[in-house]
């Protein structure tokens, strides 16, 4: 099944599985003990872009897109920052890549569905997006060889081992060409953990190649490739037509966006509609989330 087909299935599941939001559409004033503390990624984050679009927080006004994330949200510039904020705050809620989920926080079901490889493949889990890489036409031989490794049997196995869904089926085995050189990879903090694993395995096959990975957001990765300050960009969302102009992009994996809370939080499930109300600031009390 292709990445595009998986995303179409997810969109169908999202429209069919949406549950009614708890509470009404007007903002409530939660008591301090029950107050929901929002933790969001920064503008330019691919994870934020995908999350706000899939939940309906990103609204279209003519040709403009308006992100209605509440101004009260705590903004973090990395996946690790979101996890740390939620881990240290019993009232917090945030969102991260499924591949970055760890035991420090708890993941909520969305529309009654747990995020997993199986539910994403089946199109049942509604919050899913591609992990893309981008590069320009003058990419070096080392860069092309690294992409070949990602698309190989060995590379796709690493993707599976990191709780992500591989984009390539029946991938060929990789064989080192004995190349040497340097490679700069810049972009999404969600893709970075996977890219570090891929780079580590690739360098074992090619010890004469050094790879530098910078995690600073999807938009920054696209810009770096266009400005020739990076060889490959990491993007955790679909590219716009403007962004993709002059670049080649390819989906290397499919990821789920997981909604996370403190481990002591008793909430286990949240609907898409409720997520939209929570992150837009219309619903501010945990006792309204059921």
pLDDT 10s digits, 214-265? 999 999 999 999 999 999 999 999 999 999 999 999 999 999 999 999 999 9
223, 278: one domain: no
Parent domain of 178: 129-255
156, 85: one domain: no
108, 188: one domain: no
**CATH classification of the domain holding 215:** 3.10.105.10
Q: Which residues of 47-68 are buried (b: 16+ CB within 10 A; e: fewer)?
A: bbbbbbbbbbbbeeeeeeeeeb
Q: Name the strand (E) or helix (H) holding 170.
A: none
Determine, yes or no, domain membership for 6: no
pLDDT 10s digits, 207-221? 999 999 999 999 999
Paired tokens of 132 = 């893309």
Contact between residue 155 and residue 189 where contact means Cβ atoms under 8 Å apart: no
45, 123: one domain: yes
Rounded Cα–Cα distance for residues 252 and 238 (Å): 12
Looking at the chain, the number of H-run helices and the number of E-run strands are: 10, 14
pLDDT 10s digits, 70-116? 999 999 999 999 999 999 999 999 999 998 999 999 999 999 999 99
pTM for this structure?
0.75
How many domains does one find in the chain?
2
* Number of other CB atoms surrounding residue 199 within 10 Å: 21
pLDDT, residue 31, reads: 61
Query: What is the overall mean pLDDT for the chain?
Result: 90
Determine, yes or no, domain membership for 56: yes
112, 174: one domain: no
């Amino acid at each position: 099944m292709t990445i595009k087909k998986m995303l179409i299935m997810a969109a169908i599941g999202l429209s069919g599985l949406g549950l009614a939001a708890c509470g009404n559409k007007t903002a409530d004033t939660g008591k301090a003990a029950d107050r929901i503390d929002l933790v969001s990624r920064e503008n330019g984050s691919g994870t934020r872009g995908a999350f706000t679009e899939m939940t309906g927080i990103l609204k279209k006004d003519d040709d403009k897109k308006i992100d209605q994330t509440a101004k009260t949200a705590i903004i973090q510039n990395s996946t690790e920052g979101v996890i740390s904020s939620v881990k240290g705050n019993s009232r917090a809620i945030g969102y991260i890549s499924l591949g970055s989920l760890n035991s420090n926080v708890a993941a909520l079901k969305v529309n009654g569905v747990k995020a997993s490889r199986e539910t994403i493949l089946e199109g049942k889990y509604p919050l899913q997006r591609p992990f893309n890489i981008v590069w320009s036409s003058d990419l070096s031989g080392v860069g092309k060889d690294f992409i070949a490794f990602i698309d190989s049997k060995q590379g796709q196995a690493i993707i599976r081992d990191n709780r992500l869904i591989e984009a390539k089926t029946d991938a060929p085995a990789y064989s080192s060409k004995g190349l040497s050189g340097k490679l700069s990879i810049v972009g999404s903090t969600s893709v970075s953990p996977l890219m570090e694993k891929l780079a580590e395995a690739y360098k074992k096959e090619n010890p004469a190649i050094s790879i530098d990975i910078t995690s600073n957001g999807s938009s920054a990765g696209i810009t770096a490739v266009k400005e020739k300050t990076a060889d490959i960009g990491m993007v955790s969302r679909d590219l716009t037509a403007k962004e993709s102009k002059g670049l080649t992009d390819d989906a290397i994996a499919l990821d789920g966006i997981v909604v996370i809370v403190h481990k002591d939080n008793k909430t286990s499930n949240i609907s898409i509609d409720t997520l939209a109300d929570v992150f837009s600031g219309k619903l501010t009390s945990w006792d309204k989330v059921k």
